[in-house]
């Protein structure tokens, strides 16, 4: 056990593969192993060495992404006591884990109410419940446009992250501007003071 991982350490490649798979699957949910391997800069055979089959890889992506998002979002939620600040920090957290967040969102969009309820998924429900509470409070205070429904605002929140990702991938919006642009736009879209 070294204090620093080797560059060719297996766990590094493993993480790299999951990361590449998330990017590929986020853009094309039927992406082939070949495409994922190419994106990760390895051979298809290497992917098969780390994951028995395609489904295993996909499942690992789901678990890992859920874990990452739950952690980041929970930290953001606990970063303050003021709903407006909490919401803003949760937005930034979602932006930071952009593609992961988008992946998790799609995950729950498709398999809604499967019987695959595990700890991570329950934790995600908690995160979502906390988010809903925040928006409810802000709306009751009149800080958020009362004409908009909370489910709509939830869709907006996730959708704005996707817009930020797309803008970044398209490359036509300066990378440094994206964070401020997207928060400004999200704030405006819900009429937040």
Q: Which residues bind its own copies (CB under 8 A)?
A: 28-31, 109, 145, 147-149, 151-152, 154-156, 159-160, 162-163, 166-167, 170, 172-174, 177-178, 180-181, 184-186, 188-191
Closest to its own copies by CB, 71 or 178:
178
CB neighbour list of residue 30: distance below 8 Å, 6 or more residues apart? none
Residue 13 or 165: which CB sits closer to its own copies?
Answer: 165
Check binding of 6 to DNA (CB under 7 A). Answer: yes
Q: Please choose which of DNA, its own copies, none residue 186 contacts, taking the beta carbon within 5 to 8 angstroms, the exact cut-off set by kind.
A: its own copies
Binding DNA (rule: CB under 7 A), the pick from 15, 28, 29, 34 is 34
Give the x-and-dash track for 54-83 against DNA (CB under 7 A): xx----------------------------
Q: Which of 15, 41, 80, 146 binds DNA (CB under 7 A)?
A: 41
Helix 175-189 to helix 150-170 angle (10° resolution) is 160
Which residue lies nearer to DNA by CB, 34 or 177? Answer: 34
42 is an interface residue for DNA by CB under 7 A: yes
With respect to DNA, which residue has the nearer C-beta, 47 or 104?
47
Q: How far apart are CA 160 and CA 156, in angstroms?
A: 6
Q: Do 82 and 134 meet the contact criterion of CB atoms below 8 Å apart?
A: no
Query: Which candidate, 91, 40, 110, 97, places its Cα nearest to that of 68?
Result: 97
- Among the candidate windows 1-9, 71-79, 98-106, 171-179, which touches DNA by CB under 7 A? 1-9
Nearest-approach distance from CB 86 to DNA, in angstroms = 40
DSSP 78: T
Please pick, from the candidates 19, 23, 46, 132, the single residue that binds DNA as defined by CB under 7 A. Answer: 46
Backbone dihedral region for residue 10 (phi beyond 0: left; psi -120 to 50: alpha; all else: beta): alpha
What residues contact residue 138 under an 8 Å CB cut-off, 6+ apart? Answer: 83, 84, 87, 144, 192
- Are 40 and 17 contacting, i.e. CB atoms less than 8 angstroms apart? yes
Which member of 15, 27, 44, 174 binds DNA (CB under 7 A)? 44
Q: Is the CA virtual torsion 154, 94, 36, 52 positive or negative?
A: negative
């Amino acid at each position: 056990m070294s204090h620093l991982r080797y560059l060719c350490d297996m766990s590094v490649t493993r993480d790299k593969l999951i990361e590449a798979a998330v990017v590929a699957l986020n853009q094309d949910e039927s992406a082939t192993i070949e495409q994922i391997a190419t994106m990760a800069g390895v051979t298809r055979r290497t992917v098969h060495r780390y994951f028995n089959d395609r489904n295993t890889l996909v499942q690992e992506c789901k678990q890992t992404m859920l874990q990452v998002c739950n952690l980041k979002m929970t930290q953001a939620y606990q970063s303050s006591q003021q709903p407006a600040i909490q919401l803003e920090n949760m937005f930034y957290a979602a932006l930071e884990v952009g593609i992961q967040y988008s992946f998790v969102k799609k995950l729950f969009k498709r398999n809604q109410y499967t019987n695959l309820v595990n700890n991570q998924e329950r934790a995600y429900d908690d995160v979502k419940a906390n988010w809903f509470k925040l928006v409810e409070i802000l709306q009751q205070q009149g800080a958020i446009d009362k004409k908009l429904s909370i489910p709509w605002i939830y869709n907006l929140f996730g959708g704005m992250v996707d817009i930020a990702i797309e803008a970044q991938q398209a490359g036509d919006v300066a990378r440094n501007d994206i964070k401020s642009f997207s928060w400004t736009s999200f704030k405006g879209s819900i009429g937040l003071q």
